């Protein structure tokens, strides 16, 4: 028969000891990476908005050069009859 006075261990049995890194350190790393991701996202959105506004200014009609279209050549009456 096994003895009835078995001492229970003072440390509760858990599987959380798989990582030798402390939980507070993991929390700090996770928080820093999330903050960096948010800052990068905001910066990217601002850059894309600036590029969009610059392209609008580029393609605005008053900023484009005037194109010289050639005048249509005058056609004789005889040529009009043959081309129809």
Considering only 1-10, 26-35, 49-58, which range has the smallest mean pLDDT?
Answer: 1-10
SS (H, E, C) the chain: CCCCCCCCCCCCCCCHHHCCCCHHHHHHHHHHHHHHHHHHHHHHHHHHHHHHHHHHHHCCHHHCCCCCCCCCCCCCHHHHHHHC
Altogether, the residues listed in the chain come to a count of: 84
The pLDDT value recorded for residue 1 is: 54
**pTM of this structure:** 0.47
With a pLDDT cut of 70, the percent of the chain lying above it is 58
Residue 49 pLDDT greater than 80, yes or no: yes
Average pLDDT over residues 15-36: 85
Mean pLDDT of the chain: 77
């Amino acid at each position: 028969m096994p003895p009835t006075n078995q001492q229970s261990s003072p440390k509760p049995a858990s599987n959380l000891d798989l990582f030798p890194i402390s939980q507070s350190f993991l929390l700090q790393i996770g928080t820093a990476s999330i903050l960096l991701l948010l800052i990068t996202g905001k910066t990217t959105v601002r850059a894309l908005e600036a590029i969009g506004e610059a392209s609008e200014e580029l393609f605005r009609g008053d900023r484009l050069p005037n194109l010289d279209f050639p005048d249509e050549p005058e056609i004789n009456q005889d040529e009009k009859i043959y081309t129809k």
